Structures are given as C-alpha cells and as structure tokens.
Chains A and B, each alone.
Chain A
C-alpha cells in the first residue's frame, strides 16, 4: 500500500482548531489590528500553551500582530485568539499604532520640500 502522504512531511499532526480551542476570533470585539503592537509583561511561565509561550518570548520587544503571525507561521485569526487569551490574562500589553491622521500629510511635506528647494 503506497502511502499518499509523502509530501506531508512538513505538516504537523495538530490542526489549527485545537490550538485556538475551536475559536476563530469572530465573536469578540475586534480590538486587535494587524498593526497593533504587542509587548509582553513578563517572561513565559511553565505550563503555558506553547504558542502562548512563543508569543511571549517573541514580544519581549514590541511586535505587531502581523509580525507575530508571520514568525509563528499561524494565520492572523489564530494569533488574534491567542493574543486575546494573553490580554485577558494580563500577560501582554497591546498598544494601538500611531494613528495615521497624526502624521503629516505626504503631499504637504513634498510641497514644503519643493518650496525649500526653490529658495
């Protein structure tokens, strides 16, 4: 009997729904954006779910949700669910990114540069 799973080797036996406990992050209020910055409040504790521990290790320096997702190789929704757990347990802090409106407009800057060069 030939085994059809030869190209499965890089997969893992566990499926994503086990990692999230069946949650997809669809229910809760969407407090976490892709660019929300996450920083851990402490180091990982023993007995933690490995994904939680990995996030905490990653977030010793602030990291965005999208980056965590990329590093862990997990979809954003899974990371969001995991981060919700960590936020509820007060193990990480989230900080919304700098609002775009507070940054000066690009066109304005270009206009200023043009004006300065004309001087």
Chain B
C-alpha cells in the first residue's frame, strides 16, 4: 500500500481545491445567511453555519484522503498487474525458449558454466523484474542444466565403460589370434589339429568383430591400427574372415590397389558387417558375390546376395538407419533387439567418408555398394607384402622367388665346374660359401655331391678338363676317393691332397 509511496500525480494538485469547494461554499452560505437574517437570529445562524462548515470541511477532508488512497491503490494494482504480466511472459519464455535452448546447447557440447554465465548476463532479462524472481528463474535453469549434465555424464561414462570393456576384449582377442597363428604354424603338419585350430581362429575372429562393433558404437575407433597400406584383396579377405559364413562369399576380380593404413580397419569392419548382413539374410545355399572395381571417385566394393529382395519400405528404413547413424547415434536408440550392423556401417562411413548405398540386386537380393574415396586409396607398391598374403600384392616376394630359383638351378652345373676347384678348402666349404652368396642354401648339397663324381669320370669331365687331359686320369681314383671321403666324414681329412690335386686338375 504505502510501499510504492508515489502519490497519484494527476489528481494530486486538483483534489485539495475540489475538496475545499464544499467547505468554501458552506462558509460563503453561512456568511450570506448571517448577513441576510435578522439580528436576533444572526448568532444561532452563525453557530449553525460554523458547525455546518466544520462538518462539511471534515467530511471533505476525509473524502479527500480516502480518494487519494483509492487512487494510490489503483495505481498499485496497475503496476502489480503489469509486473505480473511481465513475470508470466518471462515464465512462458523460460519454458518455451530458454530451456530448450539451454538443453540444446548442452547437448551440442557447450560447457555448462558457459551456458549459465551467458544466461546470467543481465540483458537476457527485461528490466523491472524483482531480484527474487530472477534468482528463482536462474535456480530453475541451473537445476535443469545440472540434470542435463548429470544425464550426459552418465551416458558418457556408460559409453566409456562400453568402450573400455570392448578394448579389453579386443586385446584378448588380438593376443589369442596371435597365439593361434603361432599354433597354426607349429601344428601345420597335423591336419586334424590344424582343422581344429582353424575353427578356433574363426570363432575368435567373430568375437573380435563383436568387440569392434561395441567400440565403434561407443564412439571409438575400431580395433587395431595399421601403419602401412594393405592391398585391397587382403582387406576384402580380412572382412571375409570375420563373418560366420565366409565360405559362401565368392571373391571376384579385385582391382590392384591398396588401402591406406588408417582406413584399413574401418573398411574391413564395415565390409564385414555388410557381408554378415548379406550372408545372414540370404538362403544358406546361395553365394554372396564380392567384387571391387575402379570408379571415378575411388573404389567401389560391391556385395551382392541372392537372398530375399528388400522391399522398398525396408530399403528406405535401412537407408534411414544409415543416415541416422551418420548423424551420430545414441546407444540408447538401438532398441531391444539391436541391428548393430547398419548402425556400425553408418558410423564408420560417416567417420571415414565411405559412401554406402543399398539397392536391390539383379540377383534378386540386396546389393550393397561401398565407395572408398580416392584419398584412401594408394598403389599396391606402397603396401605390405608381408605375412601369408604373399601373392596379394602380386608380390615383391613372389617376383623375387622365381627370379632366384632359375639362377639356383642353372648355377648348379657351373658351380660344379668353376668354384669347386677355385676354393681348395674342400667341397663342403666351397658349397657353403657359394650357396650363401646365392641366397638359396637348399638343394645345393645334392648337386655338389654329384658334381665331383660327374666331372672326373663322367660326361661332364671333357668340357672342363680339355686343357690338361693327362693329369686328370692320373689323379682320378685318389681324387675321387678323397673327395668322397671328406664329403662323408668332415672336410679336412685329406685336405692337402684334395686341394692340391683339385687345383692341379682344374685350376687352369
């Protein structure tokens, strides 16, 4: 009431004048009556007039005061109403604009402190609102921000836990796969054990893919990283090796390129998920065709199955899921029976610029095409030619071996003719040094064992010993025996004799 303390401005100066009018009129009437009435009546009239004047003046004063209070009250009500309307509008704005904005900003990853300080900046609020009201609003916002942050934290920690567990599983699977490979090498000669090891290996790879999927959905990278480029052929077979029905996948022509290291694991994983879908949703007796061809924008890997065709509606749903995953996926959105595959593919394709499309295939099934962009492709020469993927890079090693083999086999006669006498230390030593120079230590032993026997009595002798035909027959039995014996039991038993006779026989 008195709080405002502001007197109504308009009626203020006029009201005392207005309220003074009746009193003045009464006073004037009294004076007039006193003047007009006869003398004896003048005194009572004067008294009456005075009383009337006092009464009128009193009531006027009271009425004036009341009127002023009324005006003040009206003014107060008016200001309070406007304040209330402002508060209402502010509350509506809080609910309809500020809160969604705050939540959106928090979801986008802004720090809660930043959001709060920007809200506390005074220009957000209209002036005229009480500090209590603003404080209350800020408290509401703060508690909402806290709730959202807590929720995000919870989800983050849940995802981190996912990823953490997935990483551990991956580590175990990696180690296991490594050990299995060692066992496969060790027991490679026993087909029964080897078959069991292959099955174990396969199962381990399936577990690894599952762990990779969880890691990807948790927002992390899949599995291991490759520092070197890997041939596309190996990548495709790597994808095949991670699905259950890999025997149904038919690998067709593959262009001779390699995939750069960082993109290898994501591509393998994405292709494995698509292959898994293809084999899972097609009849067990049908084949799934896997090809990779050059296209303008990179390499297109096609996966075609002969299964049930996708209806247009199902195709749209799948593509929608891919796009949804590309925008960023929430583990909570996966639902009760998650179809992880497409979500993983979408996530990976978004992160690594693969273009994935699903169409209906000419075989009647589904045709999935993954286009790997050009900047993830490199030449095979940059790729590793290591491990058992020997031919996959159309091999530096594969090219090296046949080049070495013919020289080895053609070197056998020449080795028998030339270096055996040139090195007088004995046949074994000569063979060993010559062999290491050639890089192929196998199979030379046999050639050397026959060589001295062949040079001396046989058909190979005439061409090498044409210079001194008479010395070779003379030393023939002793040389032969000595060479044979030293070959049998150590090298330097008859070292002098053999070296002397050999040098004598064939040095010129």
Contacts and interface: CB of A to CB of B under 8 A. Distances in A.
B389 A3 contact: no
Contacts of B171: 4
Contacts of B372: none
Contact of B392 (A24, A34, A50, A117): A50
A58 interface: yes
Contact of A13 (B187, B235, B481): B235
B402 A57 contact: yes
Contact of B198 (A5, A12, A24): A24
A53 to B, nearest CB: 5
Nearest to B251: A49
Interface stretch (B72-80, B236-244, B280-288, B426-434): B236-244
A108 interface: no
B388 A73 contact: yes
Interface string B171-202: 10011011001001101111110111011011
A70 B401 CA distance: 12
Nearest to B228: A9
Interface string B393-431: 011011101100110110000000000000000000000
Nearest to A60: B402
A1 B160 CA distance: 10
A62 B402 CA distance: 11
**B188, B230, B387, B395 interface centre (most CB from chain A within 10 Å):** B188
Given A4-B174, A24-B191, A53-B398, A11 B228 contact: no
Nearest to A10: B386
A74 to B, nearest CB: 5
B178 A8 contact: yes
A1 B199 CA distance: 30
Interface size classification for chain B: 35 or more
Nearest to A21: B247
B390 interface: yes
Given A13-B238, A14-B389, A50 B201 contact: no
Interface string B359-401: 0000000000000000000000000101111111011011101
A110 interface: yes
B237 A14 contact: yes
B264 A26 contact: no
A81 B394 CA distance: 21
Given A14-B241, A21-B247, A9 B170 contact: no
Interface of B: 163, 167, 170-171, 174-175, 177-178, 181, 184-185, 187-192, 194-196, 198-199, 201-202, 205, 220-221, 223-228, 230, 233-235, 237-241, 246-247, 253, 264, 268, 384, 386-392, 394-395, 397-399, 401-402, 405-406, 408-409, 442, 481, 484-485, 488
Q: Which 5 A-B pairs have the closest CB atoms?
A: A75-B188, A50-B391, A13-B238, A24-B195, A5-B224
Given A12-B230, A25-B191, 8 more contacts: A3-B223, A5-B223, A5-B224, A14-B389, A17-B199, A49-B391, A54-B391, A116-B481
